[in-house]
Amino acid sequence: MLRVAPIVGLILVMGVMGCSDYDYIPSEGGCGFACGFAGSGDAGQLPDAYTRRLTLSDSIAECLPEDEAECGCIDGFRRCDTCGWCPTDFACDEYAGVCRGLDLRARGPGTGTWQDACSVVVTDGTERDGAVANPDTVYCHTGKVCGASADADGSVFKPMGGRCFPVSFCQAAAVADPPVSTLHCIYSDGTDVVDGPPDVGGCPVGDPRQPYCGGVCGHDLRCPPSPAIYSHRFYSLGIASCVGSSETRSFGVCAWGYRRCSKTKPDANAFDLRECGRAYREPCACLVTHPQLDESRWLQGYVVLASVCRDYQLHFPGSTECVDAEWNPLPAP
C-alpha cells in the first residue's frame, strides 16, 4: 500500500470548518452555492438547507493486518505514533497518535472536503484583556467527541482543540499499549469521556432546525448549518455543534452559532440570543448543563431555540436548565 509522510500539527478548526463547510448543502435547499447569502430583500421562511443533515459514510479509520503487525491499531485506527506513516488519504493526528481520514472526501472537481474538529473554551474569556464578547468555541458537529491535547487547559489561550473521534476510540486509547499520553477526550463542557453516554432508550424526534445528535442518536449524521441574517439575507455561521451529551445524558442537541452564553456576561449573552432569535424568528435561550468543570468560576450555556431548550430539559430535568441572558430561569411557556 502506498504510504505518505504524516501531516504533523493540528489543523486549525476554522480552517477545517471554513471554505469547505457548505459545498454539500444541496442547492435546491434554498441556500444556493456555498450556502452564502440566500435570496434578497427581507429574509422569509428559513431555507430548507438549514434543516438538512449530511450523512457521513466515508471511513475515517483503516487498519489492515499488516498495519496491526507493523505499528499496532487502536479501535480500527492505524497507529502513527509508533511508526510515523499513514496510508494515502489519511493524516497522522498528533494528539490521538493515529491515522485519521477526512469525514467527507472530495466527490469530484470543484468539490470540497470536510473534517470534524473542535476547539473548546470553558472560561468566560476575561483572561484576555478587554474581552467583551463571549469567546469563540466550537465542538464536534456529528456526535463524536473531541480528541483534544492533554496539555490544553480550556482557556482562550489554550483551547481544548483537536479532531473528533468515536467514543469507542477514546475508550480503547485509554488502555492502549503503549499508552497515548497526548490525548484527552472531552465532552462539549470539557468534562472527561470515560464510559461514554448511557446507552439507554432511543433517539427522540426533535426540532429539525436543531435536532438531537450524539449518543443514542449516532455519530455519523452532521448537524445542520447555523443560520444568521445580514442585510435582510440568510447566511451560514458554519455547521452547528452537537453539544450536551455526557456520562449521564444519552444524547445531545445541535446548538446555534460558535459562541456560548457565560453567566458573567449578560450583555454578550443578550447579543447572541438576539441574533439567534432574528435568524429563526422566535426566541432563543441558554441551555445550561450540569455539572461543569468549575462552576464556582465559570458557568456556560449553549445557544438554542427556547422551545428546543425546554424540550431537552424535559428529557434531562436533573442536569439541565433553561435561562435568559441575565441567567434567570425561563418562564413557563
* Residue reference for cell 449521564: 248
Determine the average pLDDT of the residues in 1-11: 36
pLDDT at 231 over 80: no
Other beta carbons within 10 Å of 181: 10
pLDDT range class, residue 7, cuts 50, 70, 90 = very low
Domain limits, the chain: 34-41+58-104+114-323
- pLDDT tens-digit profile of 140-178? 999 999 999 999 999 999 999 999 999 999 999 999 999
* Residue reference for cell 483503516: 62
Comparing 30 with 319, the larger pLDDT belongs to 319
Cis ω on the peptide bond leading into residue 178 (within 30° of 0)?
Answer: yes
Other beta carbons within 10 Å of 273: 22
Would you state the pLDDT for residue 235? 84
Contact assessment for residue 188 and residue 243, using Cβ atoms and an 8 Å cutoff: yes
Q: What is the pTM of this model?
A: 0.86
The phi, psi pair for 189, rounded to 5°, reads -90, 5
CB-based contacts of 22-30 (< 8 A; 24+ apart in sequence)? 22/225, 22/236, 23/111, 23/112, 23/114, 24/54, 24/104, 24/111, 24/112, 24/114, 25/49, 25/52, 25/54, 25/225, 25/236, 26/52
- pLDDT tens-digit profile of 28-74? 222 333 334 333 334 567 888 899 999 898 899 999 999 999 999 99
The radius of gyration computed from the CA coordinates of the chain, to the nearest angstrom, equals: 20
pLDDT range class, residue 111, cuts 50, 70, 90 = low
pLDDT at 79 over 90: yes
The segment with the largest mean pLDDT, out of 17-26, 123-132, 320-329, is 320-329
- pLDDT tens-digit profile of 112-148? 789 999 999 999 998 987 789 999 999 999 999 999 9
Per the prediction, the chain carries an average pLDDT of: 86
- Record the cell numbers describing residue 231, joined without a space: 442585510
Alpha carbon distance 25, 144 (integer Å)? 21
- pLDDT tens-digit profile of 250-294? 999 999 999 999 999 999 999 999 999 999 999 999 999 999 998
Cis ω on the peptide bond leading into residue 224 (within 30° of 0)?
Answer: no
pLDDT range class, residue 309, cuts 50, 70, 90 = very high
Contact assessment for residue 89 and residue 61, using Cβ atoms and an 8 Å cutoff: no
The CA–CA distances, whole Å, from 125 to 222, 267, 299 equal 28, 14, 12
pLDDT at 314 over 50: yes
Alpha carbon distance 78, 107 (integer Å)? 24
Contact assessment for residue 256 and residue 271, using Cβ atoms and an 8 Å cutoff: no
* Strand 233-239 to 320-323 pairing: unpaired
